[in-house]
A and B are shown apart, each in its own frame.
Chain A
């Protein structure tokens, strides 16, 4: 499909611009509820950390700082590559640059999951897995296990959201872009995926100090 052939807006939209703007508005409305979803989880963390600061500090010593920090770098970089791919979608007549940055984004996403998987393996070795293999460390008391329940629930939910994001990017690459539907004339679906992706990154911005920066002094 030539790059200047504009797709037809859906029946309920007057113009393609309205459709694209509305799609972006829609994802922001969706993110409102995602913020509250994760924020509610972090509220439980907030309550228990201010109630049991010493126990949390003792329990969090086993959090693998290098994994968390490496994943931080990976995820923020993937937000950058996602943005660069959208710029390319908007500016380039041909999809090559966009596709390259999207592939890098997907690779970084998978890299995050691999590092996270390895970190989970290390967590098993440190025996911080509630129910399956948990040993309370000195000074942790019984409240310290709350930290680790939070850790597994929060990172698990985050990983699920990231996997969905990877799926969306792959859908863009293998379906929409391959059929030539993402062009400078209309790239709103990619922007929507990009906004979702950066939000998954935002969640990690908060999980990082929650999990990895506790009790290090």
Chain B
């Protein structure tokens, strides 16, 4: 990006920039690689996770090509490595960092009225550690990949697996430190760096969601770190704490793994919930319904997520009474999620709704999350899970949440905040078309998998009986549509950087503090620290006015 493209003050809007934007203030590579600016670090993360998204997506492409016919395409051992690396890369190198390290890093300080996070150098270090772990996982991938499934169960991973398990496990171990650093930064920043007047109950729900996610990251990741460390030790030296030859318990590995990995799936969804709560009020021109309930729901989900992990282990050999307990708790954790879905829906009532791309993605999020969540309840039922565990029903369930919901919300956030981050407007019709295409492609890819799971097709299998081929073909066809829907934004968003219309400070007429700055914002965010006097989402659909958080009223 040369200085001539973005030079100077945005042409629209009353708040002219006094200093250059964060994008153009310095242009050397060093100024990007050694930056302390949370906004630049957010873009650095954005580049990294986009790269890994396409690496993980390439593995998925090979898998769906393979599954289009029962004869398949890949050798079985290669197929095993594909689904393993797809899972590892998508979970730890795309989904978990996705919204927190990009939009969280960029907007948390701005939403609370701060000039940066509490620990900017820790933030930059987090990016470097993330990329270090990425190099290790790429090494594992290039050398052939691990083949244990992303869940690394012992003793397959410690004793019998032939792939590069040690490298993959170490990559996950190192990646955990990146998560922890990011989470620590957010927790401390949200507690201590809020602008005057920004009380907890005036925070935008996105901030609450990132706070909840950070608490979960902070408390769950160390258990994974210890678990993968012990796995690496046992793989490397040949004996360890999960060695059944010495009376240890292989299932202990699963307990510690899922103690992290179940909260991890909430790490992947909570930020998306925050994004939906930001987008829906803006495009319905109404305050979110039940703000306090939404905050309680977020924190409840965060805490309850720690009580349900063994629902991944119902058929692993745990005690049946333990299974009953975890099944019950899994039903409980669905309650706050359902409350949120009700609140998002009711927030639309009597609103002045417009179907811009961010809103399309947000509505798609709500629908896909609901379907994924309901099927989760089915899996939580012990007797049903006995039949559905390890089938494509589970695969469809978690893809509805992680891809349908989270990735929809990610794209919604991308479009919503694109004008603020880049100072450009994207072409709206292309964006709406991509959103609809994604929704269609997604459902075509994953709904047939519910059917396949119901019919009994096991997951992690390179082949299947021929009578299931038509469902698999539908799924693979859907995946090709989904791929186009993911590639389109790359094209038109990239186009908009150079030729898009320039954006003013607040193209969506939104109330958050981030919209009170120029687009793109200057390095220090705010010339003067804002003084907050109102909660978020003070929209009035009747006369289409709104009041921003500093108390300034804006007419039509």
Contact = CB atoms under 8 A, between A and B. Distances in A.
A140 to B, nearest CB: 10
Contacts of A48: 241, 247-248
A141 B247 CA distance: 9
Nearest to A42: B226
B17 interface: no
Interface string A12-29: 101000100110011001
A25 B191 contact: yes
B317 to A, nearest CB: 15
Interface in A104-124: none
Contacts of A14: 529
A130 B249 CA distance: 18
B390 interface: no
A34 B240 CA distance: 22
Nearest to A130: B239
A30 interface: yes
B192 A149 contact: no
B142 interface: no
A89 B492 CA distance: 58
17 contacts: A11-B524, A12-B109, A12-B193, A21-B192, A22-B192, A29-B187, A29-B188, A33-B218, A36-B219, A36-B223, A41-B230, A44-B230, A44-B252, A143-B246, A146-B248, A150-B241, A153-B230
Contacts of B237: 130-131
A26 B247 CA distance: 40
> How many A residues touch the partner, as a band?
35 or more
A146 B234 CA distance: 11
Contacts, number: 99
B218 A29 contact: yes
Main secondary structure of the interface of B (DSSP, over half): helix
Given A12-B117, A47-B249, A142-B246, A149 B219 contact: no
A141 B229 CA distance: 26
Interface residues of B, number: 42
Nearest to B247: A143
A146 B191 CA distance: 42
Contacts of B247: 48, 51-52, 55, 141-143, 146
Contact of B245 (A38, A55, A142): A142
The 3 closest A-B CB pairs, nearest first, are A37-B222, A143-B247, A12-B116
B233 interface: yes
A119 B4 CA distance: 66
A31 B247 CA distance: 32
Given A36-B223, A37-B222, A44-B252, A29 B120 contact: no
A25 B118 CA distance: 10
Interface string B100-128: 00000000010000111111100000000
B225 interface: yes
A32 B226 contact: no
Nearest to A35: B222
Given A22-B192, A131-B237, A11 B115 contact: yes
Contacts of B233: 149, 153
Contacts of A146: 241, 243, 246-248
Output the residue of A11, A22, A33 with the most chain B CB within 10 A. A33
B140 interface: no
Contact of B180 (A33, A40, A52): A33
B188 A26 contact: yes
Contacts of A32: 218-219
A149 B524 CA distance: 51
A23 to B, nearest CB: 8
A36 B306 CA distance: 13
B226 A41 contact: yes
A52 B248 CA distance: 10
Contacts of B223: 36-37, 40
Given A10-B120, A12-B193, 4 more contacts: A25-B192, A29-B187, A40-B227, A47-B252
A145 interface: yes
A38 B226 CA distance: 8
B256 interface: yes
Given A32-B219, A33-B219, A22 B188 contact: yes
B73 interface: no
B30 interface: no
B118 A22 contact: yes
B313 interface: no
B246 A12 contact: no
Contacts of B191: 25
B328 interface: no
Nearest to B214: A29
A34 to B, nearest CB: 7
A36 B256 CA distance: 12
B148 interface: no
Contacts of A36: 219, 222-223
Interface in B187-234: 187-188, 191-193, 218-219, 221-223, 225-227, 229-230, 233
Contacts of B187: 29
A12 B115 contact: yes
Interface string B510-542: 000000000000001000010000000000000
B443 to A, nearest CB: 39
B238 interface: yes
